[in-house]
Amino acid sequence: MKYLTFGEIMLRLKSPGHERFFQSPMLEATFGGGEANVAVSLANYGIDAAFVTKLPAHAIGQAAVNSLRRYGVDTSMIVRGGDRVGIYFNEKGASQRGSVCIYDRAHSAIQEASTSDFDWDKIFEGVDWFHFTGITPALGPNVVDICREACKAAKAHGVKISCDLNYRGKLWTREEARAAMTDLCQYVDVCISTEEDAKDVFGIEAEATDIYAGEINREGYKSVARQLAEKFGFEKVAITLRESHSAFDNGWSAMLYDVASNEYCFSKKYNLHIIDRVGGGDSFGGGLIYSLLTGKSTQDAVEFAVAASALKHSIEGDYNMVTVPEVEKLAGGDGSGRIQR
């Protein structure tokens, strides 16, 4: 099976450790981005995964491509052109000080791309699954058009489509997000969301839940998943549940709703001590898609996805560098963290 993701890969510039921006005169350079992160996860699980974007044909663009190739991601369909690679600056939070992401992605190659840059009929040959996030159409109306063309072509080729809503208030307004995602979600089979994203994008929220106080109402989340599925005809809806106690300490779990069986499965909850939370949601998406592609049950799928994401929170950078046996070990109940000899 072949899996395809489409979006923006960015240069990530992070202050060392938990320092504030330019507390010392250094920034650590890596690469990452929602859909690229998912592709890396899948490649690490042994899935034939490809990533599509547009990148400049200069050294920084090539470095972004190479960062994906390192993990076995197929980059052969990346379009080359444009002038710049998008950047995001990351300051890692600590204790009660939250992390900060500052975007510098205006006029990036993918943001200024057009529908004519991508031959989706050719790109989707032999592809079984397509994934994008709400971050990509947020880059501009032209990218909404590109995403729409991709979804239409995917459907024409019989490809399953998953989407992580991933609302980013720094990129577009709730009204813009609602209009674009209402259009795009008509093509989506599997939706991944958070309580916040469902509320921000579609005005759907769980009752009696306070994400900041760490109070989770399961019936409320069932209602959110059901409303999303009824609105768009999704086959499955996954909702990640993050209880944020501090920048270091989070409770992390998820729910997966299977519409055909009317089955709501909640995962076990992990109490995380976070090394790096950027890419945490993407690692959940990668784990979920792998689980669905390999025929896991609804319960096993959400357990694998949450365990994969729990491990990602222990890894620096955007990419989740874990293997299937490591995830299955944690999902099976071994979270001791004991040294392996």
> What's the token pair of residue 148?
């729409």
Count: domains in the chain: 1
Decide if 338 is inside a domain. no
- Identify whether 287 is part of a domain: yes
Q: Which pTM was predicted?
A: 0.94
Q: How many angstroms separate the CA atoms of 303 and 254, rounded?
A: 8
**28 in a domain, yes or no?**
yes
State both tokens at 180. Answer: 């674009």
At residue 321's C-alpha, the angle toward residues 111 and 307, to 5°, is 105
Confidence at residue 341, expressed as pLDDT on a 0 to 100 scale: 64
CA gap 128, 314 in Å, rounded? 31
**Can you give the CATH number for the domain in which 205 is found?**
3.40.1190.20
For the chain, which ranges sit under pLDDT 50? none
Residue ranges making up the domain that contains 120: 2-330
Asked, for residue 337, whether it belongs to a domain, the answer is no
- Does the CA dihedral 200-184-148-78 come out positive or negative? positive
Position 99, amino acid: S
Residue at 335 is within a domain: no
